[in-house]
Structure 1
Amino acid sequence: MDDNFNPAVVIGMGQLGRVFAGALLAAGTGVLPVLRGTDMAAVAERFPRPPLVLVATGEDDLHPVLERLPTPWRERVALLQNELLPRDWQRHSIRLPTVVPVWFEKKAGTDVKPLLPSPVHGPAAELLLRALGAVGIPARALDSEEALTFELVLKNVYILTTNIAGMRVGGNTGELWERHRELAEAVMDEVIAIQEGLTGGRFARAALLQGLQAALLADPLHGCMGRSAPVRLRRALAHAERLGIAVPTLREIADQG
């Protein structure tokens, strides 16, 4: 192997991991996949300073991976999980990763389907913007950590509102907004309260409402309720209980099963 070979590391090669790996390759950056069971310490000893270490695992695997992440890689981390907030990387003493709230969908056997341009922020933002551009996936740069936190909250509001409201009404995002907007906004407001409790911040409701509407109508045939919806609802209720936040709409939906 060429002594100058210094690939980006992609941890997890599910649907999103493969999309990003292909995008990096298309932009001329080598890729080294790290799979479940790979000895990350041994890989980090061989490649201690990759241009990027993209953790592309699901939410449930994020913290176990970050706990085991080799020290040389901690300043090169990139994250893309749903329900992500700064607290998730800060608990692992990672100060500023590169983060991409993903606004495109990729399912097995289908092409990438963008909803909105995916925002990117962090030390490797330029690399990821170039990579996504190389495969025609729209993306945009953010100019501050505050803007990133807002975008993460917006993505969480979209995911949680559609999934949790979908447990009540089913259907797709277009129908949710056109026929059940009162329910959608009630769920949204309680989700925003939880996000504010988790971040210690305050976010403009009007801006989040506008962003939610744009996302809902970007793909109005997108189904509301994914397989993870009941788990997301239980997690939201646990956060609300711990933070002392009243969430009557979420509790009613949970009680109705």
Structure 2
Amino acid sequence: MLPTDPATSPAPRASKETKRGDAAKRKLGTRLRQLRYVAQKREHLEHLEGSVQQLHCHVARCEGQLEVLRAVNAPHDSALSTAVEFFASFRHGYQVHRPHMQANQDAFLHSVMRHDLLFMNERGIEKLFAQWRASHAIFPSIEMVPTGFDVRACDDAYLVVAPGVLHLRISRMSLQCLCPHVLQNEWLVQRLLGQVLSMPIVNTFHFLPDGSITRMDTAASIVPALLALVGAENALLIVDGAKIQANGELTIP
């Protein structure tokens, strides 16, 4: 029998055992990592579920607050919307020669204003219609442009203050009805014919809690508009005897 080399004969067995041990360690390490991953994932999911529950509670509180805000702001928004629609509907005056548009304007006013509307110190919505008809008869073109809307709470009602500019094109009929004394000055007449009178105005709508308009105040200033067209001296001449009041009322027959 040949002698065995002591340096080499145990190596294969030791190598196999080492490999098996390393494999077991790797398997154990993998298993531990899997367990840690599962634990971390479970913890993360539990945290997310808790966050979702908190988010649901927060959303519910916000929705409740939103409903309260809607209830509080509903009259405010309704009043503002009505004032905006008024300017949009009558931007180019009363559409007497366009029956369909006039019918829409009539329906709008009757839907938002009380029949006993207080307007230019008179009771009744007819006064408002009469002023619109007069404006249509006197001026060839009209454009009413709002420059802002200010909603103010007043007890349980709202006021909407709406400044703007009323652009009125001047004709000989306009001068005859509005300031007939000017017709004696042909030079001034020619200066005014075809010009656009741009009057600053303020409309104030008084709303009841039900959203209807019970009163409408108006203010108009013709002087700044005339100053821009003909200067101070001629403006004073026109204003002296003009058939328009400080509230914009046309006092014509």
- TM class by smaller structure: under 0.3
- Structure with higher Rg: it is 2
Q: Please give the TM-score of this superposition, normalised by the length of structure 2.
A: 0.23
- TM-score under structure 1 normalisation? 0.22
